[in-house]
Every structure is written in structure tokens, then in C-alpha cells.
Amino acid sequence: MIVLVVLFGSWLILRGIGALGVTALATWHDSVRYALAVMFVFTGAAHFNTMRRDLAQMIPSFFPQPMLIVYITGVGEFLGAAGLLIPRFRSLAGICLILLLIGMFTANVNAALKGLTLGGRPVTPLWLRTPMQILFIGLIWWATH
């Protein structure tokens, strides 16, 4: 849930800054791209702090090296965030982030079915996580095309 607060809070703040005259944030479309970058830096950081162990537990057991997967996906989130802000890479970053979200959804499903925790709190239930993933994917597509 904090991810939604980060996304929509930063989107509103960035859009407000755009309304004050910052042309890079002048539209909702432009400001959501920056807000998504903020969100992916926020979520990517979890792959390298104390939450990384919880993230590794979310990965289905048929995948080898769960901690390596956590690190790789964290780097992917950082690279995707940067790519969203570079016009030349924007479209590619959007496609890669969408594929990353689809791939990581298996971990979300696994965690929800196992009743795992993330940072000591229960993971987001699937009835909420599924529409959140769809929302993230839709916003990425809109922001990059």
C-alpha cells in the first residue's frame, strides 16, 4: 500500500511543481513518468536493504538463487526508473518495466498464497495486488507511449 502512496503522492507533488512553471512536469502525462521513476527507485531500494530477505522468500522455490534474483530485479527497477526519464530509452524502459512487473507477479502470488510478510507486515492480498499491477502496467504504458 505504501507504494500507492509514493506513486500518487509524488505524482500530485510533481504535477503541482509543473503547475508552478517547471515545463518537464507541465502535464499529467509528463509528471506520471517522473512519479513512476520515484516509485521504482523506492521499490528498487528494498532489494538492497533489510527487506531483501523477505523479498527472497517471496520467490517461488522452483527458481534457483532467489537472492540473486532479488538483486537483479532491483537493478532492473533502477535502470527502468532512469530509462523513463531519458527520451531515447523511454519506450524500451516502459516495455522492460512492464515485463518485469509481469514476471515479478509470480512472487506476489506465491507470497500471498504462503501468507508471507514484507517488513513485518502481511503482503498485499491478491484481490488488491492484481488490480495494483494492472494499474502500474497501464500507467507505464500511458507514460511511455
Per-residue pLDDT of 58-98, as tens digits, reads 999 999 999 999 999 999 999 999 999 999 999 999 999 99
- Summary mean pLDDT of the chain: 96
CA distance 113 to 56: 15
User: Which tens digits make up the pLDDT trace of 5-32?
Assistant: 999 999 999 999 999 999 999 999 999 9
CA distance 123 to 35: 23
> Would the pLDDT of 1 be above 90?
no
pTM metric for this prediction: 0.94
